[in-house]
Structure 1
Amino acid sequence: MKLNEWLNNEVPNISKSLEEIHKDYFSIDKTIGFEGQETIYKILRNFRSALFPCLCDKVTHDDTRLNITIGNNLRISALNLKDLIEKVLLNDSNIPLGEITKHSEEVVMNLINKFPKLRRVLQTDIQAAYNGDPATTSTEEILLSYPSIQTMTIHRIAHELYKEGVPVIPRIMSEYAHQLTGIDIHPGASIGEYFFIDHGTGVVIGETCTIGKNVKIYQGVTLGAKSFPLDEHGNPIKGIKRHPNIEDNVVIYAGATILGGDTTIGQNSVIGGNIWLTQSVPDNSRVYQTQPLPNIKS
């Protein structure tokens, strides 16, 4: 049988089988799909341009034109985001059907109303990077090139949607940041002002982690869970505190792993590289490895 004949005869049956298998697990008409995923990426780019107008494709020094550009980015992204929130709420929500549109609109308005505040908080993250990295020459360099700022811009937006109870979309946003930067922050994580991740690759921050102000962490740090308590069916119990608390003015060096919802790193502490911690440490602690170096012969 030639390819063209096979395509005409067999592909319709294969397509039907794939459709039926998918319907066993997902409602095709109620998921946002890969197209919705791409729309979320575009929304984030537009939001980023609105938060940082110097990132717009066509930078203008005319205040009126700049205001229009920012406004247009917000308007089109707000409408697209509202449509996506409606769809995910239809698929995963206890909100009455007749109230979903109104609720979606309120979520979007609440988010964008917070943008001036988010912009000011993001400026503290930029300043933390400038203060904490002697290699940088300007805040512009940080904004345009540092993965920490790109990640935190997305995280601070996703976190607001997470707090509003929006399903799916915040996690797609956080995984987009993960894809771009190698930094994996769950949208549920609560992070204070002046936060900086130096280098960034391989950082993991879990859903129930809380991080105070003026915290600096390096590449390869994991703020994770000790284990997952299981229910009577052997499935992980959701909605419980699993990840650590990091208080103000803490520095965590590369490769450190800090686990557990009952673990707190006290303020003004320094956690050395490659440390494994599953218990709390008090304020002003210094935690580091004391294992002696091996003898080295030249």
Structure 2
Amino acid sequence: MMKRDHDWQLDGIVKQLHEARSEWRSAQGRTHEPGDRELPSRTVMKGIIEALAGALFPMRLGPADLRKANEDFYVGHTLDLALNALLQQAVLELRHANRKQPVQHEELVQQARDTVRRFAAALPCLRRLLDTDVMAAYHGDPAAKSVDEVLLCYPGVMAVIHHRLAHLLYREGLTLLARIISELAHSDTGIDIHPGAQIGPSFFIDHGTGVVIGETAVIGERVRIYQAVTLGAKRFESDDQGKLLKGQPRHPIVEDDVVIYAGATILGRITIGAGSIIGGNVWVTRSLPPGSNVSQASLKNQSASTQ
């Protein structure tokens, strides 16, 4: 057994960390924080999302020993556990959001219960929506041998599952829980989709690493994008004091049946018309009409013609 003869001077370090926390809380005006945990848990949310994914796709993302005969029992039991855990996390977010104007605990619990009940009721429709995404991935990738392979292996599909769940919570006002879910997917897949982004059915992200989709992006039906694509903001508006304005429409609108190839960067509140093809590594900051075909070569020709 290793002998513990190192002197880490932990008493002093713990004291200094305590002072650092106190200074930060004082600067943030949080001098009267409750003694219990105030914020939702990333670890708990990870377990909830894994359970929800298993309930949505039990024979693919559920436990290895699950049998068809027990499928409905597993789904019901798993949803009961996951939704009760989600309720607790929702209460924590609502309590934190109302910390400057305290609300009765019973009122927060009721608000959270109503929200989670609506979230649960939306899951069957969400499953059908996700089916369109899975089929889009299967039909959109010639390397895919089966829909099962797509669901089990494709990071883009996993990121979209997370996003669809996160977007439901985002619409219900549980924006912190939604953001935690999106960042869990970001960590696992390298795909960063803000939970506020509105994405239509049959959405496919191929390969996926480095994809960024901003909060106010709007994506239509049957859109396909590849790795390292950015749907971002061109500029950030600020108020008279120089503070950034929140929630302003600042990300692209991508209409139906658009394909965006690897490395393309599309910035600002512009519209990419239906059926357009955006080539790899291009930079787009102006709206495009339906049926556009943009590549590096076409952009160079446009630039030369304007000189």
Q: Please give the TM-score of this superposition, normalised by the length of structure 2.
A: 0.88
Select 1:17's aligned residue among 16, 19, 22. 19
Q: Which residue of 1 aligns with 2:50?
A: 45
Q: Which residue of 2 aligns with 1:142?
A: 150
1:100 is aligned to 2:105 = no
For residues 32 and 247 of structure 1, what CA distance do their matches in structure 2 show? 37
Select 2:273's aligned residue among 260, 266, 277. 266
Q: What is the deviation of 1:282? A: 0.6
Distance verdict in 2 for CA 1:123–1:95, change over 3 Å: farther
Select 2:77's aligned residue among 66, 72, 82. 72
Q: Which residue of 1 aligns with 2:283?
A: 276
Q: What is the deviation of 1:23? A: 2.7
- Consecutive unaligned residues in structure 1, runs of 5 or more: 293-298
Paired AA for residue 38 in structure 1: T
Distance verdict in 2 for CA 1:246–1:62, change over 3 Å: closer
Deviations 1:72-128 (A, max 9, x none): 111111111111111111111479435211110111111111111111111111110
For residues 19 and 274 of structure 1, what CA distance do their matches in structure 2 show? 44
Residue pairs, 1:1-298, within 5 angstroms: 6-8=9-11, 10-24=12-26, 25=28, 27=33, 29=36, 31-32=38-39, 36-54=41-59, 55-63=61-69, 65-93=70-98, 96-97=103-104, 98-261=106-269, 263-290=270-297, 291=300
* Percent of paired sites with the same residue: 42
For residues 166 and 69 of structure 1, what CA distance do their matches in structure 2 show? 27
For residues 241 and 202 of structure 2, what CA distance do their matches in structure 1 show? 42
Deviations 1:144-177 (A, max 9, x none): 0000110011100000000011131100100000
Give the secondary-structure state (helix, strand or coil) at the position aligned to 1:283: coil
RMSD, aligned α-carbons? 2.0
Paired AA for residue 252 in structure 1: I
Q: What is the deviation of 1:143? A: 0.4
Q: Please give the TM-score of this superposition, normalised by the length of structure 1.
A: 0.90
Aligned residues: 286
For residues 241 and 123 of structure 1, what CA distance do their matches in structure 2 show? 29
Q: Which residue of 1 aligns with 2:305?
A: none
Q: 1:199–1:219: 8 Å Cα contact kept in structure 2?
A: yes
Paired AA for residue 110 in structure 1: R
